[in-house]
């Protein structure tokens, strides 16, 4: 256990020293935030103010929608950036040095995965705190204690789910350039896959159905339902339920596939199943190959 934590701390220190790795881990978050500050946020506020004339709290609602998306994106991109240390160690032949040491192979593999969890959780928590300050600046409120607990659980689940997915992919990628390309692609498309750049509801039915089947959509939707709960209760209090249903469908606060609305527990199970599948695939892969 001591060796495992020493390796985790080593990876954490190396990640934090690599400013480029930290920056690119948050690149998609920075892009999303910039887009919403510059124009998308105002467009969404104007659209909702026009659609629901006279309703207070639109700024709060939009702020929570944006920050829920950003928190979810960072749960995906930060572990991806953290696992770049495995690629670096492989490229620099440091992995071979580990293999000649008394360190168990399973311990070594687990150390990289746990590093992604720890780094992901620290960075996402920082992002989460900044997001709460932003929500307050837009006239919002802090979450309740129960909602904080729910958010912590969801963030840990999403980080662990996508960490094992990217760890599995890392077993096939041998060069830093290829990993950098994967970082760029994920950072570019995660906003679309999660319905953050463009709400899923404005896309065609076929495209929306495909996106709603992906774990990224399930992750961002359950985060939105917790993160936005207070704002939704405030804005849609006393408003016909049809208004909320239309909003939830358009902005990805709920997921409906072929007329069936997915429940929160089903989206959580979907993420767990996704995680277990790639955990098993990773074990099978590591039986026949080195890190």
Which residue matches tokens 């892009």?
31
Task: Assess if residue 122 is contained within a domain.
Answer: yes
Residue-by-residue pLDDT tens, the chain, 291 positions:
688 999 999 999 998 888 877 887 777 778 887 888 787 778 888 888 888 776 788 999 999 999 999 899 999 999 998 999 999 999 888 988 888 888 888 899 999 999 999 999 999 999 899 899 999 998 999 999 999 999 999 999 999 999 999 999 999 998 889 998 898 888 878 888 778 877 887 777 888 888 889 999 999 999 999 999 999 999 988 888 888 998 998 898 999 888 899 999 999 999 999 999 999 999 999 988 878
Residues 58 and 52: their CA atoms lie apart, in Å, by 9
Q: Which two tokens stand for residue 166?
A: 């990217």
**Does residue 52 lie within any of the structural domains?**
no
Q: Backbone phi, then psi, for 195, in 5-degree steps?
A: 65, 40
Which residue range is the domain that position 234 belongs to?
3-46+57-288
Domain count, the chain: 1
Is the C-alpha dihedral spanning 235, 239, 245, 247 positive or negative? negative
**pTM score, whole prediction:** 0.92
Q: Does 51 map to a domain?
A: no
Instruction: Look at residue 174 and tell me if it is in a domain.
Output: yes
Residue 245 contacts residue 220 (beta carbons within 8 Å): no
């Amino acid at each position: 256990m001591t060796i495992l934590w020493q390796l985790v701390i080593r990876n954490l220190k190396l990640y934090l020293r690599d400013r480029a790795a930290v920056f690119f881990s948050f690149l998609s978050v920075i892009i999303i935030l910039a887009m919403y500050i510059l124009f998308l946020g105002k467009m969404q506020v104007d659209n909702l103010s026009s659609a629901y004339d006279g309703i207070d709290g639109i700024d709060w609602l939009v702020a929570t929608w944006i920050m829920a998306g950003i928190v979810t994106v960072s749960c995906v991109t930060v572990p991806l950036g953290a696992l770049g240390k495995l690629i670096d160690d492989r490229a620099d032949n440091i992995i071979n040095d580990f293999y000649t040491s008394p360190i168990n192979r399973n311990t070594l593999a687990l150390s990289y995965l746990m590093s992604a969890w720890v780094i992901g959780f620290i960075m996402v928590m920082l992002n989460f705190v900044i997001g709460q300050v932003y929500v307050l600046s837009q006239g919002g409120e802090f979450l309740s204690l129960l909602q904080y607990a729910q958010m912590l659980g969801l963030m840990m689940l999403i980080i662990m789910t996508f960490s094992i997915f990217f760890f599995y992919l890392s077993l096939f990628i041998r060069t830093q350039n290829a990993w950098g390309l994967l970082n760029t692609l994920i950072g570019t498309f995660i906003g679309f896959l999660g319905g953050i750049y463009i709400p899923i509801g404005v896309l065609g039915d076929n495209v929306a159905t495909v996106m709603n089947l992906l774990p990224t959509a399930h992750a961002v939707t359950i985060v939105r339902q917790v993160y936005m709960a207070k704002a939704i209760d405030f804005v849609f209090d006393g408003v016909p339920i049809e208004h909320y249903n239309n909003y939830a469908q358009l902005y990805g606060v709920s997921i409906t596939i072929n007329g069936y609305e997915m429940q929160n527990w089903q989206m959580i199970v979907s993420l767990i199943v996704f995680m277990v599948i790639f955990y098993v695939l990773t074990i099978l892969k590591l039986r026949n190959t080195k890190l």
